[in-house]
Structure 1
Amino acid sequence: MKATVSDIARTCGLSTATVDRVLNNRPGASAANRQRVMEAAKQLGYLPVADQVTLPSRPAHLEFFLPIGSNAFMMDLAAYIEDYAARLPLVASCRIHNLAGISPSALQAAVENLSLKANGVGVIAVDHPRTRNILREVVEAGIRLVTMISDVPAAPRSAYVGIDNRVAGRTAALLMGRFLGGRSGHLAMVVGSRSYRGHEEREMGFRSVLSEEFPNLTVTSAVEINDEPEVSYTATMKALHNEPELLGIYCVGAGRSGVAKALREAKPQRKPVFICHDLTRETRGYLVDDLLDVVIDQNARLIAEQSVIRLLGSIASSAPYLTRKFIEPRLILKENVPVQ
């Protein structure tokens, strides 16, 4: 039988009104009373458990470092994090830092603004020696760390929240080969940034399946665009000009809008199969307009929610690492685009 507010009030010796204020994160309760309520709630099994992750007994201060820029997926992710955190009584505060780029120096500059109250940090970062050192210093300061979207496995993070990017790349290659139905020819690849471990893993997975199952398909153009749509536009226009019979385009990271713009303008006689990642407002439109064939979506809302839950779980846990569990990607075509 689940504990009630009255049970918690009796256990901690406070009124049900005070307990209700604490559990719903409303003002009017002292810090000492908040701690008493949360400890009693934890003892009675009242606090929520997510994926077998026990949550902390007192509200935590969370901060997230995201390279948002003009990336629609990152904007959605940030909004979902803020929305979900605002609805959880166990989140005392949630702050989003918009990184000025993906370089380690951009992360270092942002981390210098980390609040002294911070209990947990979520980060999307490149896998670089300087990045690993920055993250190590954060953890050594007593702050729990979760990596998101693209892992930094050598950093002392408590968890990675995201899809298995190598599997995602292999899935893209399998879809490309099946869509092309045995035809032989050339493909183009638009890579966001190989500095991201996730993008590198997607490319490796894609090339592996082509080699294993579709040797009739060859990647003749692979351009790293650093997630700049104008660079992806120029690269795609060049690929379409050099390969009038180009069979397919795989966009590994951002830069989707540049590819779509090039396809609209070039109007090839036979549109290449176009596969990309992340369901956003713009990729929904590309699917409906038949510019885009399939989206391999990593589900921004689920990653946001799991990042918050995993941070709270790592704060509550004495273990340095939580159980590893990947987010399952979704395959979105124009016939199954989910309602926003």
Structure 2
Amino acid sequence: MPSPSSVTIPQIAKAAGVSTATVDRVLNDRPGVNPATAQRVREVLSSLGGTVTQPGRPKSAPNYRFAFVLPDARTAFFDAVDRIVAQSAGEFRHQHVTELTLRLPSHDVNAFAQQLARLTDFGGLALLAPDVPQVKLAINELVQAGVQVVTLFSDVAGSMRAAFLGTDNRAAGRTAGLLLGHGMAGRPRARTALFSPPTRFASEIDRRIGYAQLMEERFAQVDVLRCLEVPDSEDEAYRYAMDCLPPADAPDAIASAYSVAGGSFGIGRALAARGYTGRALFAVHDLVEVHRSMLASGAADYVLHQDVYLSVSAAARTLRALQDGVRGALTTFRNPRVEIVTQENLA
């Protein structure tokens, strides 16, 4: 039996068959726990010695094993996150963290959820995943098994994940709408194209909702052309955008375009081929290399960027604090704001 000073929240959670969040609520007398469950937690606590490691004081030299779980789709953003995790290995080692990056099959949500649910040998997971019931169930099973889970860049709301780390994607979509809407100001009627994949990622859904909301609220004279079936590959995205976009000299020509996710290079090619160069504003997300080049060449006007390194680093620190049972572990990180990058501040 562990000594009273060595009892931790994860130990109590495992012995009681509940999540660490439930144990934390019971220990801090917060609502939301079934009375029978709360009693079981207290009984387990008593049997383990009656005291818990002091909140806010992590173990002296622990070793942590965390995984960054990403979709296997080869998009510029997902690959950039993978790279930044690898580049942060030295920082993680200083935190006594061993990290592993796993790429799960995002085009088969059942396979994604099944493989996710098997990751019970990790102390914590930073997860970028589709927001579907199968994934929510897998997250809940992991948390109940004592694995700490945070979502990264795209949330899975309604699951038992401890926190979401990333920018406010609804606000990001609204920001894009504000930028492009002001660029179309003064026209009695205008048209904007909204490009999105047929997505199951909450980040992409929130961006397009935010964009459409802002246009409706602030720029009622703007019609939104919804192109919501953008394929994964840039070549296919180009062909799709060519079919979706009217020519620049047509009566129904667009004045701006917004891409919520991948395929932006192909869409940019289609805008140029349709004659929109210098005639329509184009906003995209994340300052990956291809978007940096598009800004430099004038193929894109705005990149809405989030600090990927900040969120990746915060994920490791948050998981570590959660595993240690540090009180207030979720209050130390503030999600990054949307950064607007243009050709003028590209350096």
Q: TM-score, length-normalised on structure 2?
A: 0.76
Among 320, 323, 326, the residue aligned to 1:315 = 323
Among 63, 66, 71, the residue aligned to 1:62 = 66
Instruction: Indicate yes or no: 2:145 matched with 1:141.
Output: yes
**In structure 2, what is the Cα distance between the partners aligned to 1:132 and 1:67?**
15
Q: Which secondary structure state, in structure 2, belongs to the residue aligned with residue 65 of structure 1?
A: strand
**After TM superposition, where is structure 1 displaced by more than 6 Å over at least 4 residues in a row?**
none
Instruction: Indicate yes or no: 2:110 matched with 1:105.
Output: yes
Following superposition, the deviation at residue 130 of structure 1 comes to: 0.9
Residue 35 of structure 1 is matched in structure 2 by: none
Structure 2, unaligned runs of 5 or more: 1-52
Mark the CA change 1:155 to 1:54 in structure 2 (over 3 Å): closer, same or farther.
Answer: farther
Residue 13 of structure 2 is matched in structure 1 by: none
Q: Which secondary structure state, in structure 2, belongs to the residue aligned with residue 206 of structure 1?
A: helix
Instruction: Indicate yes or no: 2:195 matched with 1:190.
Output: yes
Among 268, 287, 290, the residue aligned to 2:295 = 287
Provide Cα deviations, 1:104-137, integer angstroms capped at 9, x if missing partner.
2232343266362x11101111221111001111
Following superposition, the deviation at residue 55 of structure 1 comes to: 5.9
Residue 21 of structure 1 is matched in structure 2 by: none
**In structure 2, what is the Cα distance between the partners aligned to 1:310 and 1:330?**
23
Residue 216 of structure 2 is matched in structure 1 by: 211
**In structure 2, what is the Cα distance between the partners aligned to 1:185 and 1:154?**
38
**In structure 2, what is the Cα distance between the partners aligned to 1:123 and 1:321?**
18
**In structure 2, what is the Cα distance between the partners aligned to 1:202 and 1:55?**
37
Amino acid of the structure 2 residue aligned with 1:182: G
Residue 24 of structure 2 is matched in structure 1 by: none
**In structure 2, what is the Cα distance between the partners aligned to 1:126 and 1:289?**
33
Instruction: Indicate yes or no: 2:270 matched with 1:262.
Output: yes
Mark the CA change 1:242 to 1:311 in structure 2 (over 3 Å): closer, same or farther.
Answer: same
Instruction: Indicate yes or no: 2:111 matched with 1:90.
Output: no
Structure 1, unaligned runs of 5 or more: 1-42, 44-52
Residue 338 of structure 2 is matched in structure 1 by: 329
How much is the aligned-residue C-alpha RMSD, in angstroms? 2.6
CA contact under 8 A between 2:165 and 2:315: conserved in structure 1? Answer: yes
Residue 224 of structure 1 is matched in structure 2 by: 229
Mark the CA change 1:176 to 1:334 in structure 2 (over 3 Å): closer, same or farther.
Answer: same
Following superposition, the deviation at residue 321 of structure 1 comes to: 7.2
Mark the CA change 1:55 to 1:259 in structure 2 (over 3 Å): closer, same or farther.
Answer: farther
Q: Which secondary structure state, in structure 1, belongs to the residue aligned with residue 228 of structure 2?
A: strand
Mark the CA change 1:188 to 1:223 in structure 2 (over 3 Å): closer, same or farther.
Answer: same
Among 155, 158, 175, the residue aligned to 1:154 = 158
Mark the CA change 1:141 to 1:165 in structure 2 (over 3 Å): closer, same or farther.
Answer: same
Among 98, 115, 119, the residue aligned to 1:114 = 119
Q: Which secondary structure state, in structure 1, belongs to the residue aligned with residue 209 of structure 2?
A: helix
| Identical counterparts, % of pairs | 25
Following superposition, the deviation at residue 152 of structure 1 comes to: 1.0
Following superposition, the deviation at residue 93 of structure 1 comes to: 1.5
Following superposition, the deviation at residue 83 of structure 1 comes to: 2.1
Mark the CA change 1:91 to 1:272 in structure 2 (over 3 Å): closer, same or farther.
Answer: farther
Q: TM-score, length-normalised on structure 1?
A: 0.77
Instruction: Indicate yes or no: 2:253 matched with 1:249.
Output: no
Among 165, 170, 189, the residue aligned to 1:166 = 170
Aligned residues: 288
Mark the CA change 1:150 to 1:201 in structure 2 (over 3 Å): closer, same or farther.
Answer: same
Following superposition, the deviation at residue 263 of structure 1 comes to: 2.6
Provide Cα deviations, 1:232-288, integer angstroms capped at 9, x if missing partner.
322321233366421111101111121122234333365321001100010000000
**In structure 2, what is the Cα distance between the partners aligned to 1:231 and 1:167?**
29
CA contact under 8 A between 1:144 and 1:311: conserved in structure 2? Answer: yes
Residue 47 of structure 1 is matched in structure 2 by: none
**In structure 2, what is the Cα distance between the partners aligned to 1:59 and 1:311?**
12
Comparing 127-136 with 232-241, greater Cα deviation is found at 232-241
**In structure 1, what is the Cα distance between the partners aligned to 2:323 and 2:123?**
7
